[in-house]
Amino acid sequence: MKDFSTEPRTRKCLRLWALIGSVFVAGFGAVPAGGAELKAVAALPVSKRDETARLQIFLDQQLFGPGKIDGSPGEFTTKALMRYQRAHGLPETGVVDGAIPVDSVSPVYTTYVLREEDLRYVGDAPEEPVDQAKLKALPYGSLLEFLTERYHCSPVLLERLNAGLKLDQLKPGDEVRVPNVEPFLIEALSKPGFLPEVQEYKGRVITVNRAERMLDLMEGEKLLASLPITPGGGGLETPEGTWKIMGVATLPTFRWDKSVLETGKRSETFYMLPPGPNNPVGVVWCGLNRPGIGIHGTNNPQTIGRAASHGCMRVANWDVVRLSRLITKGMTVVIQ
């Protein structure tokens, strides 16, 4: 750079401003003819939290699930990154490098304006099965819960992104800053029923690693997707072995039986719980040829990978819906 130190002060300032202006313009590209508006460069993350959130969003969109997006490094973000690297023939370092296009996520955050129609999916959410069974549906308990599931994230992240906004008092018209993910659309699940069989998917295999609490979807040697799960525990472990998917159902009704949950055996005392995002098995049920065992959604996605189920494999609703589009009845499930 030219040394301006010997120039008169006024001329030096003018030349410096000219130089700054040229750098500014270079950052946006050439100035369009006719004085047209400059096209802004996408904003880059400005903090470690933003960088981690961007990585989590990138992995989530590739269906290598990091669990809830919270902007904090953790076990499942690392596992998802290493599986993404494996799927793309990269060294499994668990470290982001130039071969991973995380900058394709831009901007990191976007906004969502709550709508009146969103209130259709929010309502009374009693905790006891005897009360839940009286309802026609099991909706979200609040607009905050609606938003965290829609944008695959933790309430803590939304609180950090929306300082000054009372998230426990959200209402239609409120604009909320959220992660820039493809939203989970509860309204797109129109009615209960089994998904049609897809012949070309029948050769795919789901492998469940209980120790790692991860589910991998394979097609031959190719890793298509990988998601965190909550497997069984506390005496009701997810059964090891090779099984088959008997069907994939959306918006299932759940037969709640305390004896089944505690001992694995049916009793005559049970409640039929209606469908909805707060159904204990979430919005998708993939039953196996082992009675009472399946891969399913959850009414508590914040605990995925960090708790124990009653023998099944719980997956966040936003993940299990996308997984359901890649699997079919008759597929093999290997539980290790």
Q: Is residue 2 part of a domain?
A: no
Q: Centre a 10 Å sphere on the Cβ of residue 336 and count the other Cβ atoms it contains.
A: 12
Instruction: Compute the average pLDDT of residues 245-264.
Output: 87
User: Percentage of residues in the chain with pLDDT exceeding 90?
Assistant: 72
183 and 257: one domain? Answer: no
Please tell me whether residues 210 and 156 are part of one structural domain. Answer: no
Tally of domains within the chain:
3
Q: Are residues 244 and 297 in the same domain?
A: yes
**Could you tell me the residue range of the domain that residue 120 belongs to?**
109-188
The predicted model gives 5-32 an average pLDDT of 33
* Same domain? 326 vs 199: yes
Q: Quick check: is 37 in a domain?
A: no
Could you give the CA distance from residue 100 to residue 47 in angstroms, rounded to a whole number?
A: 19
Q: What is the pLDDT of residue 9?
A: 38
Q: Answer yes or no: do 183 and 199 share one domain.
A: no
pLDDT tens-place string over residues 187-246: 999 789 999 999 999 999 999 999 999 999 999 999 999 999 999 766 668 899 999 999
Are 216 and 330 found together in one domain?
yes
Triad 236, 240, 246: Cα angle to 5°: 90
What confidence tier does 69 reach under pLDDT thresholds 50, 70, 90?
A: very high
Same domain for 235 and 322, yes or no, is yes
User: Residue 217: inside a domain, yes or no?
Assistant: yes
Does residue 225 sit within a domain?
yes
Residue 30 lies in a domain: no
**Residue 278: inside a domain:** yes
pLDDT in tens, 127-176: 899 999 999 999 999 999 999 999 999 999 999 999 999 999 999 999 99
Kindly report whether the global pTM for this prediction surpasses the value 0.85.
no
Tens of pLDDT along 293-308? 999 999 999 888 765 5
pLDDT class of 34 with cuts at 50, 70, 90:
very low
Check: CB of residue 240 under 8 Å from CB of residue 222. no
Dist. CA 129–CA 68, nearest whole Å:
26
Say whether both 211 and 289 belong to one domain: yes
Same domain, 220 and 282: yes
In a domain, 200, yes or no: yes
Q: Is the pLDDT of residue 110 over 80?
A: yes
Q: Are residues 223 and 298 in the same domain?
A: yes
**Is the pLDDT reported for residue 79 higher than 60?**
yes
CA of residue 288 relative to chain centroid, distance: 24
Q: Is residue 25 part of a domain?
A: no
